[in-house]
Amino acid sequence: MGDRAGKSALFEEFARVGKALGSGKRLELLDLLSQGERSVEALAAAAGLGLSTASAHLQSLRQAGLVTTRREGTRIHYDVAGPDVLRLYSMLRSVARDRVADVELKRAAYLGLGGPHGERGEELTREELLARAQAGAVTVLDVRPGEEYRAAHIPGAVSIPLDELAARISELPERADVVAYCRGAYCRGAYCVLAYDALDVLRAHGRAGRRLQDGMLEWRLAGLPVESEGAA
């Protein structure tokens, strides 16, 4: 049998992962990395952090083995360490949703559910989207920021960030079956509102559109193919 000190030391090693996840900002950085590899500068800007603060949070994640780094010249790029980290992050969100009463209230407040967004809009599953995309019967619209699209996107997807969609809507074929997607989902609700807003923009311009039931996080978790054009 192992001794008590040895067992305690082992559990302290387990706790390193829990401690790294014990920060809302570090979880936000992990959420951003679930979209694909990003530079420290891009992560800091997206999370509303100073560069030194973002770097410190990322170092905590790296020391716990949750992220990896890649140097390109003077820039450091981060990515999740593997699919198991994506699964851990997804499971953490699911457990919090099911066990912490305030999560749903905060989600609804953040997304404006019950207001202009609600739980509305026709959805398409990953399987349905794949089948239609392989048949050339759908235009897949990625409405995330451009740097997230470049880091990783569904093969063949068209990138039109939400804040550019109204001005660039003519780039979409008039009678196209448009399916928009963004960062990720939460069962049949969402943590990312971009695809919801994209449907509003399409409707306002007389275009039909649907929403992928989930997003890039779930797409990657399912082991489905992605394309990239280099990290931001």
Residues involved in catalysis: 182
Do 132 and 210 form a contact (C-beta atoms < 8 A)? Answer: no
Q: How many CB atoms lie within 10 A of CB 88?
A: 16
Do 205 and 165 form a contact (C-beta atoms < 8 A)? Answer: no
DSSP secondary structure string for all residues of 22-88: S-HHHHHHHHHHTT--EEHHHHHHHHT--HHHHHHHHHHHHHTTSEEEEEETTEEEEEES-HHHHHH
**Half-sphere exposure of residue 15: CA atoms within 13 angstroms, side-chain side:** 6
Rounded Cα distance, 200 and 206, in Å: 10
Do 187 and 125 form a contact (C-beta atoms < 8 A)? Answer: no
Dihedral (C-alpha) 210, 216, 221, 224: value to the nearest 10 degrees? 70
Rounded Cα distance, 31 and 19, in Å: 17
